Amino acid sequence: MKPLFAVLGALTLTACVAGPVGNPKPPQPAKTVELERYLGRWYEVARYDMRFEKGCEGVTAEYSKRDDGLIRVLNTCRQGAVDGPTKVAEGKAKVVDTATNAKLKVSFFGPFFGDYWVLDHADDYSWSIVGEGSGRYLWLLSRTLPTEADRAALTARAKALGYDVSMLRPTKQPTP
């Protein structure tokens, strides 16, 4: 996803050097995704840290429909601290698995698209776990500012999916 930072934008960097593998056998998405329910704002709870997101805090991703049928992706990062300067990256996503809507391609760089898999999500869409097929990228997302209990529950779910949770970097978010 970008001007090298935002949440989910990393998935577009398939041509760039990636980080270590956190899950050598990433799972296929667990559930169908209702796109209308997935749209909206997500707060990043934790991530596998990558160079394009170094120093980012207060990270959010916002998804909305575009007139051309694609999905608008707006990633926001506060550089260095939750009250640091704001960086924004805008991209687009398209569904590539129409049977489940759980596999998308995301682009922040012209014609270059990367995988974006909704690996699991709450039935009420209150949380989501996003990754892709290499096991190098992972994001834990929440609809609300995460509590420590939220962080622990999402981390446990990521571990159950086979991810090395010691590689997760908690994302600082503003205090409510």
pLDDT in tens, 139-150: 999 999 999 999
Indicate whether 1 belongs to any domain: no
Domain residue limits at 158: 9-170
**What's the confidence (pLDDT) of residue 79?**
96
Indicate whether 3 belongs to any domain: no
pLDDT at 12 over 50: no
Indicate whether 119 belongs to any domain: yes
CATH number for the domain spanning 144: value is 2.40.128.20
- Give the Å distances, CA to CA, from 58 to 31, 105, 153: 28, 24, 20
d(CA 167, CA 15): 22
Write out pLDDT tens, residues 56-109.
999 999 999 999 999 999 999 999 999 999 999 999 999 999 999 999 999 988
Indicate whether 59 belongs to any domain: yes
Residue pair 128/141 in contact by the 8 Å Cβ criterion: yes
Indicate whether 137 belongs to any domain: yes
Where do the H-state alpha helices sit in 4-161?
Answer: 35-38, 148-160
Q: What is the DSSP letter of 136?
A: -
Q: Which of 173, 145, 168 is nearest to 157 (CA)?
A: 168
Q: What is the DSSP letter of 153?
A: H
Q: Grade residue 19 by pLDDT with cuts at 50, 70 and 90.
A: confident
pTM exceeds cut of 0.85: yes
Q: How many residues does the chain have?
A: 176
Indicate whether 58 belongs to any domain: yes
Percentage of residues of the chain with pLDDT beyond 70: 90
The total of structural domains in the chain comes to 1
**What's the confidence (pLDDT) of residue 50?**
85
**What's the confidence (pLDDT) of residue 75?**
95
d(CA 172, CA 45): 8
**What's the confidence (pLDDT) of residue 18?**
61
| Cβ atoms within 10 Å of 26's Cβ, excluding its own | 22
Indicate whether 176 belongs to any domain: no
Q: Which helix (H) or strand (E) holds 139?
A: strand 138-142
| Cβ atoms within 10 Å of 142's Cβ, excluding its own | 21
Residue pair 26/151 in contact by the 8 Å Cβ criterion: no
| Cβ atoms within 10 Å of 144's Cβ, excluding its own | 13
The set of residues, in sequence order, having a beta carbon less than 8 Å from that of 124 and lying 6+ positions away, is none
Indicate whether 116 belongs to any domain: yes
